[in-house]
Amino acid sequence: MGRTTYYNTRAGFIADPHSITRSGGVQIDWANVAAGYVDATSGKKVLKAGTAVGSLLSGNGSVSPRVVTTNPAVGLLATDAVQDDPAAPLSGYGLIKGGIIYETLLPDASGSPPTLAAAIKTELQAAGVSTGFVFVAYSDAR
């Protein structure tokens, strides 16, 4: 008898996949991605899924990581983005504009327990999507 394998393809930080509001593909403005995002193994800049990104620095709609006051957050990357990736979609990377999110699993969360900075939450809520974001803490009760 054959076997069927199912893969969970949604990002781990998404609490409720049916609540997510997505934007069409966005390009990454790699020139405005800081050197702190360089992967030591590959030497390429890498943005993790869930990274808060803004579009103000580029001026052309492409996004780069959120920076206090100069590049306010407009959404969260839906997938990992790798500089010069030949398999990257030509239409751009998915951008999450609202929904129920596990904030403790976001790459920008810090502290104990990890939480997203209040300024980032405010910027995401002000980005203009009517659904907004709901941030919840992830817990594993096994």
Residue 6 maps to a domain = no
Beta-bridge partner residues of 60 = none
Can you give the C-alpha Rg of the chain in angstroms?
16
Closest CA to 21 of 135, 102, 97, 127: 97
Rounded Cα distance between 50 and 107, Å, is 6
Please indicate, yes or no, if residue 11 is contained in any of the structural domains: no
Backbone angles phi, psi at 44, to 5 degrees: -95, 150
Instruction: Write out pLDDT tens, residues 115-129.
Output: 999 999 999 999 867
Q: Which domain holds residue 106?
A: 17-136
The one-letter code for the residue type at 6 is Y
Q: Are strands 81-82 and 46-47 parallel, antiparallel or unpaired?
A: antiparallel
For residue range 35-70, list pLDDT tens digits in order: 999 999 999 999 999 999 999 998 888 999 999 989
Mean pLDDT of 84-113: 92
Question: Which residue has tokens 């300024």?
Answer: 119
Q: What is the mean pLDDT of the chain?
A: 89
**Predicted structure pTM score:** 0.88
Look up the CATH number of the domain holding residue 87.
2.40.300.10
- Which amino acid appears at position 5 of this protein? T
Residue 8 lies in a domain: no
Give the closest residue to 53 by CA, choosing from 16, 1, 107.
107
Residue 107 lies in a domain: yes
| 97, part of any domain | yes
Q: How many domains does the chain have?
A: 1
